[in-house]
Amino acid sequence: MIRLFKQHYIRKVEELEGVWDFQLDGCDKVYRLAVPGCVEQHPDLLKTRGTGAYNREVYVEQNGNIRLEFKGVSHTGDVFWDGEQIAHHYNAFTGFSAVVRNAKKGWHRLEVRIDNTFGEHSSLHVPNDYYTYGGITRPVSMERVADIYISGIHFTPYLENGVWMGRLEIKIRNLAEEPAEISVESFLEREGDGGVSQLFPASGAGWNNVKVEPDSEIVFTAEQEFAGVAVWSHENPALYLWNTVLYVNGIPVDDMIDRVGFREVKVSGKRILINGKQIFLKGFNRHEDYATVGCAVPFQLMMQDMDLMTDMGANAVRTCHYPNDERFLDLCDERGIFVWEENHARGFGLERMQNPNFDKQCKDCIHEMIESHYNHPSIIIWGILNECASETEEGREKYARQYTQIKGLDTSRPTTSATCRHLKDICLDLPDIVSFNMYSGWYKDVPVEETNQKEIDWIRASGGDGKPIIVSEFGAAAIYGCRDRARSKWSEERQADIIRENLEVYMNHPDICGVFVWQFADCRVTEEEWFSTRARCHNNKGIVDEYRRPKMAYDVIREMYR
């Protein structure tokens, strides 16, 4: 499964999931591995930190262009078609694609070289308090595309004088050496009760009989009214299928379907408003990591995570600390779960931010994240640079550059960044929302209320005045099954106590409009640099363990969030 709905009827799509050959570089043994999957699932490959190659044969049914889409290769992918390189991509958490022009009918060899090593070449995947796996960890698809095809569609809902409007942007790419005349049709439909669908034909000036130059890309745009639509909200997450069809010389040659929702997110003073209504975010930080499958979490287990978080009464999730799998975002769209999605960064001091690859690797990640996830109504906040060097001037320049890049791609969502540079952060004036991570009662036995008030007073005096405030992380560690009547640290009892004490303060402070528990589930961490403070080489602050077994804190959160 690539998405929770069918994206194409005209365009032929084949998902390349299944069993691929895999060889570690320098090893003769050929493994048969599942794709999507992590190489670490195999008992011989539990701690692979290296390079290797996946291989399989693919069959092209007729001569024509082949478009390959990789949703995630960890952490660097180099793709070869019949031995010729067609793609290179860094970062496990954003997708990429490649087009093979005029592929011949018959069998072809697809090779994906992977690299999950650390070093200067990798500024974002580093030894960290989560694990960088190796593998083709998210779905792969092979499509047949015409010389002219739809390369992207963005939908922006907004209210104008109380009426729902939509801005449509349809990007068309022409691979051919000669020009062509094209037309575009677009409509929104909603499977209401009993399959009744409302059609909203979307049309813009000049969508018909337009000449497209060779080897070029053009964008069709339109702004139009969608009167009477059902609104997307947490309580009623109404979704519409947006179907676009491309005609060349009057013949339908391509299509693209995405799911959209009519909702507007605004920051108003110290509040976050969804469709004009103030919300309080009751969330979890969720790593993409599961005991037996690493970061290649299959859809069934994503669904289980969603069911557990909603059972505890959550209405929000933070994709700490990287863009997430689109199937999980589709689930959030369907369940009305608000999403804070963030670029890939965790805990970089200035030295790591000065890696010569850092700026471009961040820029690419932000671009790919917003380009591909733009239409998800559940995403209400774009985040950057979790706990990076926001106390330094050089760090500030990078924060400012990344916020500017986000606003250049999307002005419909507010921005934020989770800081831990308490009382010395110099970037609080830059984002729309100020967020901070605070472990009162765990790393420091400090009074929650006083520490919180001191932080908020400082935020108000340091550039964050008048802005919404989110407590983006708080929590404590507990080893699953560790019970202790003395309620010592690392016991489930103490974790439950600390969670309760923190929530009682944060959920009742007038300036706080959201909380995200750190963290939903225990996750594997990198032994290098992290073993000493992470028992079992896991971050044990999960409310459930890595097998999703609930700890005592589960019921505390369930009581307080609900």
Least Å distance, CB 339 to ligand ADA, is 17
Pairing of strands 216-225, 163-174: antiparallel
| Residues present in the chain in total | 562
Contacts of 140 (CB under 8 A, 6+ apart): 15, 16, 17, 35, 36, 68, 69, 70, 71
Residue among 208, 226, 227, 225 at smallest CA distance from 170: 208
Beta carbon nearer to ligand ADA, 257 or 523: 523
Least Å distance, CB 475 to ligand ADA, is 7
Least Å distance, CB 342 to ligand ADA, is 10
Contacts of 159 (CB under 8 A, 6+ apart): 165, 264, 275, 276
Least Å distance, CB 199 to ligand ADA, is 45
Task: Show the tokens assigned to 206.
Answer: 């000049």
Contacts of 550 (CB under 8 A, 6+ apart): 308, 543, 544
| Binding-site ranges for ligand ADA (CB under 6 A) | 129, 320, 346-347, 386-387, 420, 437, 473, 518, 539, 541
Q: What type of residue sits at position 406?
A: I
Beta carbon nearer to ligand ADA, 305 or 473: 473
Structural element, H or E, at residue 277: strand 277-278
Query: Is the peptide bond between 321 and the residue preceding it cis, with omega within 30 degrees of 0?
Result: yes
Beta carbon nearer to ligand ADA, 387 or 391: 387
**CB distance 121 to 51 below 8 Å:** no
Q: Which residues pair with 24 in a beta bridge?
A: 52
Least Å distance, CB 321 to ligand ADA, is 6
Least Å distance, CB 299 to ligand ADA, is 25
Structural element, H or E, at residue 309: helix 299-311
Least Å distance, CB 540 to ligand ADA, is 9
Tell me how far apart the terminal alpha carbons of the chain are, to the nearest angstrom: 32
Report the residue number whose CB is nearest to ligand ADA: 129
Residues 333 and 324: their CA atoms lie apart, in Å, by 13
Q: Which residues pair with 107 in a beta bridge?
A: 59
Beta carbon nearer to ligand ADA, 330 or 387: 387
Least Å distance, CB 439 to ligand ADA, is 6
Residue among 332, 327, 335, 337 at smallest CA distance from 372: 327
Beta carbon nearer to ligand ADA, 416 or 437: 437
In the block, tokens 């699932």 appear at: 41
Least Å distance, CB 320 to ligand ADA, is 6
Beta carbon nearer to ligand ADA, 207 or 506: 506
Beta carbon nearer to ligand ADA, 125 or 173: 125
